[in-house]
């Protein structure tokens, strides 16, 4: 004897009930009450910015999501070296004369008129389940080309990508650069 269950439980209502059940079960996973585990949301990035006609370069170190709190951030700045954007940077000859050290922080921002300038970045993130350290050692110089000012970049950190040159204009800057997972900024 075969019955028609559609009279008691029409399919649109069964589908809606199944969807509601899935949402109820997944809501605690989708809306976290704590810190996220280390990953894409917590990966630190360096943002480099300079306005055409200005002699100031701005640096911002933060997470792309803007709401990630790092246990610690350390940024060393070296500006007493010679590099014009061509050739390689003598990374071992850099002297980190200025340090920004912060704990329980969302970001670090600073500006400099130095040209060239190198930054040594370490951002340490912890959550109840794990921790991660994001690092990068990068150098930047402002030069000139026939088309106008140019931002030159270089890095000694494997896994960090920085363009070798960009025009200093609103179409290419600010420049976000993702840092890589490592043990400390340090030198190669």
pLDDT on residue 6: 58
**Residue 172, both tokens:** 């290419």
Residue 91 lies in a domain: yes
pLDDT on residue 88: 92
pLDDT on residue 188: 40
pLDDT in tens, 26-36: 665 555 556 67
Q: Does 72 score more than 70 pLDDT?
A: yes
Q: What percent of the chain stands above pLDDT 90? A: 58
Residue 63 lies in a domain: yes
Residue 142 lies in a domain: yes
Residue 157 lies in a domain: yes
pLDDT on residue 81: 95
Residue 37 lies in a domain: no
pLDDT in tens, 86-115: 889 999 999 999 999 999 999 999 999 999
Residue 82: HSE in the Cβ half-sphere, 13 Å Cα cutoff: 0
Residue 70 to residue 180: CA distance in whole angstroms: 15
120 or 130, higher pLDDT: 120
Partners of residue 141 on adjacent β-strands: 152
| Average pLDDT of the segment spanning 145-160 | 92
Residue 146 to residue 168: CA distance in whole angstroms: 12
State which residues form the domain around 173.
45-181
Residue 7 lies in a domain: no
Residue 127 lies in a domain: yes
CATH of the domain at 160: 2.60.40
Residue 84 lies in a domain: yes
């Amino acid at each position: 004897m075969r019955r028609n269950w559609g009279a008691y439980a029409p399919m649109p209502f069964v589908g809606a009930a199944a969807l509601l059940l899935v949402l109820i079960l997944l809501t605690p996973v989708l809306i976290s009450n704590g810190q996220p585990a280390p990953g894409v949301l917590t990966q630190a990035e360096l943002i480099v910015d300079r306005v055409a006609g200005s002699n100031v370069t701005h640096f911002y170190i933060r997470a792309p999501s803007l709401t990630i709190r790092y246990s610690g951030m350390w940024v060393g700045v070296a500006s007493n070296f010679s590099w014009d954007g061509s050739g390689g940077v003598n990374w071992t000859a850099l002297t980190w004369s200025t340090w920004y050290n912060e704990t329980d922080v969302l970001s670090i921002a600073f500006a400099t008129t130095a040209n060239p300038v190198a930054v040594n970045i370490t951002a340490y993130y912890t959550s109840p389940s794990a921790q991660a350290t994001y690092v990068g050692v990068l150098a930047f110089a402002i030069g000139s080309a026939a088309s106008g000012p140019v931002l030159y970049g270089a890095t000694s950190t494997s896994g960090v990508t920085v363009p070798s040159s960009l025009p200093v204009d609103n179409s290419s800057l600010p420049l976000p650069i993702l840092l890589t997972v490592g043990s400390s900024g340090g030198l190669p």
